[in-house]
Structure 1
């Protein structure tokens, strides 16, 4: 098991310990889950999905305004070195509004409607505009914890949608503008954008509804991650990126 990143630094201790305990934690969380443990979940299980879909045109407008200055949207690997394996180049870019519950004020100010809408999601962990440039690929991988679920809302979908997809377990999904789907990223998944256009989505991670011991394990694990170097490093890098962009705007 690799414990070092490409920058030569060891992975945070919590990440290494959490990886070894993942099967135990995930098993307990799965048993306490209040929603199915299937790869894909019905959007109707989460009432807030309909509200976000209804407001999609407003979020699309904010997304397009940000994308008008695409160079100001940082590659994910520059923000989070621990994501280097699944962000092998700079074509996967991320504009964070919230990261593990931590608000990014500068970014929320640039997308105030989207920031306000996602703030009302129960158990919100992260919310960001996720951009995959033409030819971009996210290699097959598994998420860390069943304690979170992922949701994708299409904001900018290539016309050639058949060649822009995410595969979760045995299902291949395509994004539609203004529509959302929910999935469990602990199942093997991979993404490809084999088009000449940018794919843009609102990417949301939120706490899986759970009860009993599963809920307790979920809270312990996510609480530890929020206090880890994994999150602190990313938060510092986002702040540094925004400072640099602010200085460039003054030039």
Structure 2
């Protein structure tokens, strides 16, 4: 007779082996697929993309003030909003201070229920975006620099909606490969975060954006393979650990 404790131990061993396998081979697999994704992507393989090529952007920008209003309410509790590395411990290599705050709605399709309930209009708007997988408010405090880094997977595309931009926007910028851009309130930036990129807020003001990842448009059957990989990533220890962390932080906000 198999005892419940033995079943539990067997499950934990399998889970540990799966984690070790993902950590060892997962990144290598994703990197091997990048050239294929870049070659067959329906939107090309650029650093930045034209926001007019995405029909849903118009609706998001038309509602940007509703999103900003909910964001402003959260800024009243800025000390209770976690740092990025508090949610995703892997980010400590690029940020270890308290000047990059993140308020998560989704992470690889996993919903932060309480956070979404506090911002119903923002949630309603982002849930209409085709292929949206990750979404959060990204808050850069004054004089924060995010050093050069790159995203983990080319099968998603990065989207920024500027909500609060310092008056001196020239000193608040992003570089993707060799291309620089500046945020403008109510406007969008869309780019491929697997190119090395870097961010500066060299001002005395806060910069806030709505930060999203959505599924990169691909032809079939690569579109199906891409969705499978994204689902596997959502099951990874990296994402599941982040989920547990943002659930803990949800309870700290009133």
1:46 equivalent to 2:82? Answer: no
Counterpart of 1:115 in 2: which secondary structure? Answer: helix
Partner of 2:101: 93
Distance across 1 between alignment mates of 2:230 and 2:96: 26
Does 1:182 find its partner at 2:197?
no
Cα shift at 1:241: 1.5
| Corresponding residue for residue 144 of structure 1 | 152
Structure 1, unaligned stretches of length 5 or more? Answer: 1-10
Q: Provide closer, same or farther for how the CA distance between residues 15 and 203 of structure 1 changes in structure 2, counting only shifts above 3 A.
A: farther
From 233, 241, 248, the counterpart of 2:249: 241
Name the SS of the counterpart of 1:14 in structure 2. Answer: helix
Asked if 1 retains the 8 angstrom alpha-carbon contact of 2:81 and 2:249, the reply is no
1:162–1:12 CA distance, 2 compared to 1 (3 A) = farther
Deviation (angstroms), 1:205: 0.4
Q: Which residue of 2 aligns with 1:19?
A: 27
Bigger Cα displacement from structure 2, 91-100 vs 211-220: 211-220
Residue 173 to residue 15, structure 1, CA distance change in 2 (3 Å): farther
Instruction: Determine the structure 2 residue equivalent to 1:6.
Output: none
In the superposition, the TM-score normalised over structure 2's length comes to 0.89
Deviation of 1:200 after TM superposition, in Å, equals 0.3
Conserved 8 A contact 1:29-1:217: no
Deviations 1:91-123 (A, max 9, x none): 111100111111111111111101000001111
SS of 1:120's partner is coil
CA shift for structure 1 position 213 = 4.4
Cα deviations by residue, 1:67-89 (Å, 9 ceiling, x for unpaired): 11111211010111111112232
The residue matched to 1:97 in structure 2 has which SS? strand
Runs of 4+ in structure 1 off by over 4 angstroms are none
Instruction: Give 1:221 shift.
Output: 2.0
8 Å CA contact retained: 1:166, 1:191: yes
Cα–Cα, structure 1 residues 34 and 113, in superposed 2: closer, same or farther, change >3 Å? Answer: same
How many pairs align? 236
- Name the SS of the counterpart of 2:93 in structure 1: coil
Shift of 1:21: 2.1
1:37 aligns with 2:45: yes
Matches within 5 A, 1:110-121: 110-121=118-129
TM-score normalized with structure 1 length: 0.90
State whether residues 127 and 205 of structure 1, in contact with CA within 8 Å, keep that contact through their aligned partners in structure 2. yes
Equivalent of 1:173 in 169, 181, 188? 181
Report deviation, 1:13: 4.0
> Following TM superposition, by how much is the alpha carbon of 1:132 offset from its aligned partner in structure 2, in angstroms?
0.7
Is the radius of gyration larger for structure 1 or structure 2? 2
Instruction: Give the RMSD, CA atoms, in angstroms.
Output: 1.5
CA contact (8 A) 1:33 1:214 kept: no
> 1:129 and 1:12 mapped to 2: Cα distance?
31
